[in-house]
Amino acid sequence: MKFLKNNSKKKSLYVTLGIIIGTAVGIITSFHATYDYLVLKNKIVHEMKNNSKLTAESLQKNIATLMASYSVNEYENLIRNEIQNRDIFAIIVEDYNMGEILGETSYISGKIRDEKLNILDYDEQDTLQNKQLQETYYSEHYDIQNVQGKKLGKIAIYTTNDSINEELNLTIIHTVINTIIISLLLALALFTSIRFFILKPLSNIVRAISLSDENGIPTQAIPDEGALEISILSNTMNTMIGSIKNSSATLNEHHKYLQSIINGISDPIMVIREDYTVELMNNATRKIAKNMDMVADPAHPKCYEISHHRTTPCDGVEHLCPLKEVMRLKKNITVLHDHGEGTTSHFVELSSSPLFDTNGVCVGIIESARDITAHIKAQDELRKQKSSLHFQASHDALTGLANRVLFDERLEKSIAFSKRNETKMALLFIDLDHFKEINDSLGHKAGDKVLKSVTLRLNEIIRKEDTLARLGGDEFTIIMEGLKDVQDASILAQKILLALTEPIMLNNIEVYIGCSIGISLYPENGDTPQDLLKYADAAMYKAKDEGRNNFQYYSAEMTEQAFERVEMETKLRGGLKNKEFVVYYQPQIDGTNGSLSGMEALVRWQSPSMGLLSPSKFLPIAETTGLLIELDRFVMKSAMTQHAKWHKEGLNPGVLAMNLTVKQLQQKDFLPMLEALIKETHCCVEHIELEVTEGQIMTNPTKAIEILKGISELGVKLAVDDFGTGYSSLSYLKKLPINKLKIDQSFIHGLPEDKKDAALTKSIIALARNLNLSIIAEGVETKEQKEFLVQNGCTSIQGYFYSRPIPADEMQKFLSQAKTLLQSSIIQF
Amino acid sequence: MNILKPLFGITLLCFFTSLYAAEIQTIEKELVYIVPDTRIEFWEIMARGVQNKADSLGYALEVYISHNDAKTELQSVAKALKERVAGVIISPTTSSACATILKLAKKKNIPVVISDIGSEGDEYVSYISSNNKEGAYKLGKILAKKLIELGFNDGRVGIIAIPQKRLNGQARTAGFMQAMDEANIKGADIKQQSTWSEEETYTFSKEMIEAYPDLRAIWLQGSDRYKGALRAIAHAGKKGEILLLTFDAEPEFLELIPSGVVVASAMQQPYLMGQEAVLAMDKHLRGEALEKNIQLPILAISAENIEQMLPIIKKNVLGIEKIKK
């Protein structure tokens, strides 16, 4: 029978049958006992009633005699004896004879038991006794008659069920004992029979089954013995074992087939049980696990031994354990493991799905691994490229600063931030002064270097939280968030101005560049990016108007000015088209004798709507809109034509000085154009003098020298306009093919009282003399100025002292008069 | 006028109160004695004893005769209870019947004193009885002595007994048999009286004489039907061979005992018992303590001591106090 024992918690057949038999026997005997009990109870009740009846019959006869003889005590004793002997609760007698003697209906007496079963006299006045009588189980009443049939009285017999209960309890005890004994005997008999006829053959079957191969399939036939059913069971099992063997063979084939399929998969695949045991794997996995030294039990390798070459399960700290996660989540997951060593990464993507048994319980996982190192690297590259593209899209390629796109975005965020935090914000719009000249004269590379240099300087000045952007060309913006005080913007602007005042070295050439800064404020000036940018731009223009190299805050007037600028631009274009521009001429006089030595051609705009406008009103617009070149060429052509005409008319107009803007210089066709214009107008080359400013030369002195030499080679004279206001390098001055210096009117203004102006003027005059250059002073308005200049060697005078710029017809008159009044020392206009 | 009215009222109140008190006194003073049968000398003497003491103590006494009939006895009791007498003195027909009487009296809260016979119940004030056992024992001793003197001690002694249901009957038999046992005298038959007639006594005596040839003595547990026994002995021709002993006494015993016709008699003192019964009731009614069972001695009288005991016999046994006067 030992073959029927194992460690299973299931109850054995022996125990099960024991329970069934015990229960069945218990139920049957219980039913039987209950039936017996009920039968007995009915019998006892019947006997009790019968006993009561017999008692009554017995008493009826005896009491009748005693009643007739008035032997009350005797029949009471008789009643006592009956109660004692027959286990009766009470007997009550009504005696009519005694009643008659006592003058009552009847004399009632009797015996009754108390709680301790003592027999007491019945007292009809005792309520407790009467209550007890009413509660008795059974009572019977009988008449007492004498032999003649006369009623002598009544007798009542009361019986309780106490004795019945006592007897029944005793019966129950006996029945229970009997039941237990019968059950035990019956069970013993049944167990013995079961053991011999059922369990022994079953044990033999189990013994035969337990002798099995490695797949658990029995190797021996099941013995055919025992009862018919067990014999059938043996035969059936033999048939079943045969089927299992066939199925096992088929299953092995399927298993091999399946194994060959998964072996064909290049990714490692494992079926892992909950205890980390790898139940199934393909060849790709075996390749990973070829070093089987770490595998303690090759028949049952563990996943951590194969995948991680560990002797213990992973703790899940370095990487997520797919087994634990799938067991926990009961669903497919994909995790990434880095199986690399040292700095080398080796990324493996593990896709795991739960393995359910037939009951739907998750018992392990199916895991496939894929080396995605190359994929990850490709992704990284792509990400970097994307990042770079994004950077490029949002940043200026030259300076690395935020570009227009990013600036707009930042500005919008800054406004939103300021709105949320109720803080101020400033937008600085920086436009480099003379950058275009540098770009044009020194080339774009130089310009780019300037921009980079400017960027470096600005980056050093601004706060970390400020945004510096380049909108294009020489336009920079700075967004200042969290402005505590408006003055903070001023302080930054001052720093910027100072920083950009310092010269920039370009291939050993010092380039001087300033800037004009416009500032708009949130929320004072606007609350949209468009408004703030527009207003900062307007303020910047104002700074330009104010002489550059300064900063201006936006005001409402600037808006108007901006509109005016737009209007002016439109009108400017119309003016050019409608030939509203005219050339005025300001005489240049020899101070020593008052004779005309030449004239400077100056443009005026005779606007039908605005009247006559000086160049300061429209030249900046013309410069920014590109109309300047056209306007310049118009002036040059007009002046040269007029000058040739005057010369042809026999008038002596002298030198024709014309301002040459840097933009003209930058025009590649300038020299051919100038040459062609000379030919076209028949203007004497030797009378033509082009004035260039220091700033125009110094932005790109080398280029300027090259062009100026070309001009000079045409025979055109060159003069440096506004001399002394810039930062002219004397070394360059020496190289320039210039013929004349023109002292700026700012030095003249203080003459002769201002000693500095006087000293500077004297120095410039001396410089010109030493360089063998002619010299002229402009802006001379008083006699004292004229005389100081003449006394110090500058005899050529231009200014209101002699004449303001005059139209051609007036100049014609002047030339005509001069011809006739050549002798007059002072000519008053 | 104002003073006279209350005075008149008080006077009337006092008058009616005194009348009511007198009435109560009258009721309380009334006693009833129920006697079984005055035809029997013993009861008649006892009744006189009761009457004597009731008179001397100032009680009105009504004597009801039961005629040895339970119904009559019960009717007497019912009547006494209905009249709510101060107390009932009873010599019951049987101890058993007395038990019922005691229950009835208890329900009416009327005290009962039992004089002789006894009761199976115990709801009585006092039970005046004779020490029957001791008296019978003394009588047995006298007989044993006599039988030994006569050489009759190997013979048997027969008993014609009063009903053995009576406690006094049982005590008499027990005391007598004890003396017989001590003297190793065998007993013969014991027959119980039921009709109390002389003929019955004769028949019983005859039957025993015939049944027991070695019969040497007959003890009659009564006195009044002694002639029946003497007649049977005489008819059997065993006069002088069979001795006769009695219980209680008849006036003629004063002569029969000295003459040896009656060897001896245990004499109760009925007159004294009647007096003691009234005395006990009186004590109870007056609230005095008294013994529940009062046993009076029985006089064992033989020829040897009759002369000496004669004054007591006359007074307490025969109740002939008035005769002396």
DSSP secondary structure letters along A755-822: HHHHHHHHHHHHHHHHTT-EEEE----SHHHHHHHHHTT--EEESTTT---EEHHHHHHHHHHHHH-T
**Amino acid at the residue A687:** H
**E strand residue ranges, A323-416:** 333-338, 347-356, 362-371
Residues B137 and B262 in one domain: yes
Instruction: Write phi, then psi, for A272 (nearest 5 degrees).
Output: -115, 130
Q: Which residue from A73, A98, A103 is facing B99, i.e. has the nearest CB?
A: A73
Domain A570-818: CATH superfamily is EAL domain (3.20.20.450)
Distance CA A589, CA A797 (A): 5
* Predicted pLDDT of residue B14: 44
**CA dihedral sign of residues B261, B265, B271, B272:** positive
- Using CB atoms and an 8 Å cut-off, which of residues 49-108 of chain A contact chain B? 69-74, 76-77, 97-98, 101-103
Do A264-377 and A15-169 have the same topology in CATH? yes
* Residue B325 within any structural domain of the chain: no
Percent of chain A with pLDDT over 70: 94
A74·B71 Cβ contact <8 A? no
Q: How far apart are CA A230 and CA A222, in angstroms?
A: 11
pLDDT at A827 over 50: no
Size of interface A-B (CB pairs under 8 A): 37
Average pLDDT over every residue of A405-418: 92
Say whether B96 and A77 touch across the interface (CB within 8 A). yes
Instruction: Answer for the pair B112, B136: CB distance below 8 angstroms, yes or no.
Output: no
A558 vs B43: CA distance, rounded Å: 166
Q: Up-side HSE of residue A530: CA atoms within 13 Å toward CB?
A: 0
Range name among A4-8, A18-22, A427-431 with the lowest pLDDT average? A4-8
Q: Which fold has domain A15-169?
A: Beta-Lactamase (3.30.450)
Q: Which residues sit opposite A506 in a β-bridge?
A: A509
What is the 8-class DSSP label of residue A223?
P
- SS3 state of residue A604: strand
Using CA atoms in the order A615, A618, A620, A622, what is the torsion angle rounded to 10 degrees? Answer: -110
Same domain, B103 and B146: no
According to CATH, the topology of domain A264-377 is Beta-Lactamase (3.30.450)
pLDDT confidence of residue A822: 52
| CB contact at 8 A, A488 and A521 | no
Q: Is residue A274 classed as helix, strand or coil in its secondary structure?
A: coil
d(CA A163, CA A89): 10
Q: Which residue has the tokens 């099992």?
A: A237
For helices A556-577 and A529-545, the axis angle rounded to 10 degrees is: 70
Q: Which of B68, B79, B100 to mutate to test the interface with A (most CBs of A within 10 A)?
A: B100
Q: Do A72 and B100 touch (CB under 8 A)?
A: yes
Nearest to A573 by CA among A638, A624, A637: A624
> What is residue A823's predicted lDDT score, i.e. its pLDDT?
44
Domain boundary (B224, B252, B267) is at B267
B209 with B281, same domain: the answer is: no
Strands (E), A13-164: 90-95, 107-113, 119-121, 138-145, 151-159
Instruction: Give me the architecture of the A395-554 domain, per CATH.
Output: 2-Layer Sandwich (3.30)
| Same-domain check for residues B183 and B291 | no
3-state secondary structure of A638: helix
What mean pLDDT is reported for chain A? 85
- Answer whether A103 sits within 8 Å of B104, measured CB to CB: no
Name the domain count of chain B. 2
Nearest to B96 among A71, A102, A109 (CB): A71
Residues B257 and B286 in one domain: no
SS3 call for A663 = helix
Distance in angstroms (rounded) separating the CA atoms of residues B301 and B249: 9
Please state the length of chain A.
Answer: 829
Determine the straight-line distance between the first and last CA of chain B, rounded to whole angstroms.
Answer: 62
Residue A726's pLDDT is 60
The reported pLDDT for the residue numbered B298 is 92
State the DSSP string of B54-85: HHHHT-EEEEEE-TT-HHHHHHHHHHHHHTT-
- As a whole number of angstroms, the distance between CA B277 and CA B54 comes to 10
Facing residue for B74 by CB, picked from A74, A77, A101: A101
- Which of these ranges, A405-419, A501-515, A527-541, has the smallest mean pLDDT? A501-515
Q: Which string of b and e fits A329-362 if b means at least 16 CB within 10 Å?
A: eeeebebebebeeeeeeebbbbbbebbeeeeeeb
| d(CA A140, nearest CA chain B) in Å | 25
E strands of A434-558, at which residues?
Answer: 467-472, 475-483, 504-506, 509-511, 514-522, 551-553
Amino acid in the structure at residue A583: V
What are the two backbone dihedrals, phi and then psi, of residue A720, each rounded to the nearest 5 degrees?
-95, 115
Interface of A with B in 706-735 (CB under 8 A): none
Q: How many angstroms separate the CA of residue B84 from the nearest CA in chain A?
A: 13
- Which residues have C-beta within 8 Å of that of residue A422, sequence separation ≥ 6? none
- Report CA dihedral (A623, A626, A629, A635) to the nearest 10 degrees: -70
Residues of B in contact with A75 (CB under 8 A): none
> Domain for residue B303, yes or no?
no
Q: Check B82 against A71: CB less than 8 A apart.
A: no
CA angle A795, A800, A801 (to 5 degrees): 55
Would residue B307 count as lying in a domain? Answer: no
pLDDT of the residue at A588: 92
Alpha-carbon gap, residue A454 to A396, rounded angstroms: 14
**Domain annotation covers residue B20:** yes
pLDDT per residue as tens digits for the range A37-60: 788 788 878 887 887 787 777 788
User: What percent of chain A is predicted at pLDDT more than 90?
Assistant: 23
For residue B75, give the nearest of A72, A73, A101 by CB distance.
A101
pLDDT digits (tens, 9 = 90+) for A139-184: 888 898 888 888 999 999 988 877 777 777 887 788 778 878 877 8
**Residue A340 clears pLDDT 80, i.e. is over it:** no
**In which element (H, E) is residue B115 found?**
strand B112-115
- Provide the 3-class DSSP secondary structure of residue A823: coil
Of B257, B254, B279, the residue nearest B126 (C-alpha) = B279
Q: Is the same domain home to B72 and B23?
A: yes
Extract the tokens encoding B37.
Answer: 């049968």
For residue B75, is it within any domain?
A: yes
d(CA A640, CA A685): 10
| Average of per-residue pLDDT across A89-95 | 91
The Cα A60–Cα A714 span in angstroms is 181
Nearest to residue A660, comparing CAs of A616, A692, A685, A621?
A692
Judgement on whether residues B123 and B137 belong to the same structural domain of the protein: no
In this complex, the residue of B70, B120, B121 whose CB is nearest that of residue A69 is B70
Closest CB to B78 among A71, A102, A121: A102
A396 interface with B at CB cutoff 8 Å:
no
Residue type, B129: S
Best mutation target among A70, A75, A77, A100 (most B Cβ atoms within 10 Å) is A70
pLDDT given for residue B158 in this prediction: 96
Query: Based on the domain organization, do B78 and B144 belong to the same domain?
Result: no
CA-based nearest distance A100→chain B, Å: 9
The predicted structure's pLDDT at residue B1? 43
Instruction: Please write the tens of the pLDDT for every residue from A467-524.
Output: 999 998 899 999 999 888 777 888 899 899 889 888 888 877 778 888 999 999 998 8
Domain range spanning residue B47? 9-130+270-295
Rounded to a whole number of angstroms, the distance from the CA of B191 to the nearest CA of chain A is 21
Q: What is the pLDDT of residue A515?
A: 92
Q: Which residues, other chains included, contact A550 with Cβ-Cβ below 8 Å and sequence gap of 6+?
A: A497, A516, A517, A543
B179 and B287 share a domain?
Answer: no
How many angstroms separate the CA of residue A142 from the nearest CA in chain B?
23
Cβ distance A752 to A789 under 8 Å?
Answer: no
Cβ–Cβ under 8 Å, residues A746 and A712: no
| Domain co-membership, B263 together with B145 | yes
B200 with B236, same domain: the answer is yes
Given pLDDT bands bounded at 50, 70 and 90, which one contains residue A558? low
Across A302-319, average pLDDT: 81
Cα radius of gyration rounded to whole Å, chain A: 66
Count of CB atoms within 10 A of residue A491's CB? 12
Could you give the C-alpha distances from B124 to A219, B92, B155, in angstroms and in order?
106, 12, 43
- Find tokens 């009633």 and name the residue: A49
A128 exposed, middle or buried (CB, 10 Å; 0-12, 13-18, 19+)?
exposed
Alpha carbon separation from A587 to A574, A592, A770, A797, B151 (Å, rounded): 29, 15, 26, 9, 219
Residues (pLDDT < 50) of chain B are: 1-4, 7, 12-27, 323-325
Flag whether B110 is in a domain.
yes
Distance between start and end Cα atoms, chain A: 149
**CATH number assigned to the domain comprising residue B25:** 3.40.50.2300
Chain B interface residues facing chain A, Cβ-Cβ under 8 Å? Answer: 70-71, 74-75, 78, 82, 96-100, 103-104, 120-121
Burial class (CB in 10 A: 0-12, 13-18, 19+), A371: middle
Clarify whether residues B92 and B159 are in a common domain: no
Residue A749: beta bridge partners?
A: none
Helix (H) or strand (E) holding A270: strand A269-273
A121 in B contact zone (CB under 8 Å):
yes
What distance lies between CA A631 and its chain's CA centroid?
A: 58
Phi, psi of A793 (to 5 degrees): 105, -5
CA dihedral (A218, A219, A225, A229) positive or negative = positive
Supply the ipTM of this predicted assembly: 0.75
Which of B71, B96, B103 shows the shortest C-beta gap to A74?
A: B96
Compute the distance between CA of residue B122 and CA of residue A789 in angstroms, rounded to an integer. 180
Instruction: Report the pLDDT value the prediction gives residue A517, as an integer from 0 to 100.
Output: 93
- Assigned domain for B243 exists: yes
B100·A77 Cβ contact <8 A: no
- Do B100 and A73 count as a contact with CB atoms less than 8 A apart? yes
The answer to whether the Cβ–Cβ distance between A98 and B74 falls below 8 Å is: yes
Give pLDDT, residue B121: 86
Domain ranges of chain A: 15-169, 211-258, 264-377, 395-554, 570-818
Residues 6+ apart with CB under 8 A from A787: A591, A752
What pLDDT shows up at residue B321?
Answer: 66
